[in-house]
Amino acid sequence: MSTDGLTIFSDKPVAGRHCGGCTLCCKLMPVEEIDKPAGKRCRHQSHKGCKVYDRLELVSPSCRMWSCRWLMDAGTRELRRPDRSHYVIDCMPDYIGARQDGSDKAESFMVMQVWCDPDYPDAHRDPALRRYIAHVAETQGIVTIVRYDARRGFAIFAPCLSSDGQWHEKETMLRPDNSEWQNPMQTVHDIANATRGESR
């Protein structure tokens, strides 16, 4: 499935990849259905993994449907598993409001989201991740946003998107209507609800 050319999830993991012991998404991702904020460990986690995974279709359908890009995108072949790299690349895009230098007007940009573990705030500087961000920017013209929680974050403009051919990190703002950033799981949640409705 894709949104404006940005793949948001696939049906099958990349050959040879599986979550294994990685549960970093369970810490970093917000999940509205179970009142789980971004950057906080899920109350359903245990040392063995998710305590309600077998019931996720009832408890949190979006968790069951969501996967990270490391798992689903063969283009992440250089990247380490999220629990080793300390960031999760979201399959779901989002939109942010940002001002160009010297402008009072906020523009809306579709972005690829990288959720960075606040305990490792510089993990986004991983050279392999920067190469992947550059590839996405070159092939899809998409800006990347690094997020530490639901509000803190900044946009990364790859050299191909910058007039001077350099990397740039820019602070971002709330959406132009000053509402909160949209929960990135909301699209998956909507799809899950629609699917359940169609099967009734």
Contact 156, 168 (CB under 8 A): yes
CB atoms within 10 A of CB 165: 9
Contact 109, 143 (CB under 8 A): yes
CA distance 142 to 6: 8
Contact 155, 143 (CB under 8 A): yes
The predicted structure's pLDDT at residue 119: 93
Each residue's pLDDT tens digit, 107-153: 777 889 999 999 999 999 999 999 999 999 999 999 999 999 887 88
Model-level pTM? 0.77
Asked whether residue 2 carries a pLDDT value surpassing 60, the answer given is no
CA distance 115 to 113: 6
Q: How much is the average pLDDT of 52-80?
A: 83
Residue 56 confidence class, pLDDT cut points 50, 70, 90: low
Residue 4 confidence class, pLDDT cut points 50, 70, 90: very low
The two structure tokens encoding residue 81: 């598993």
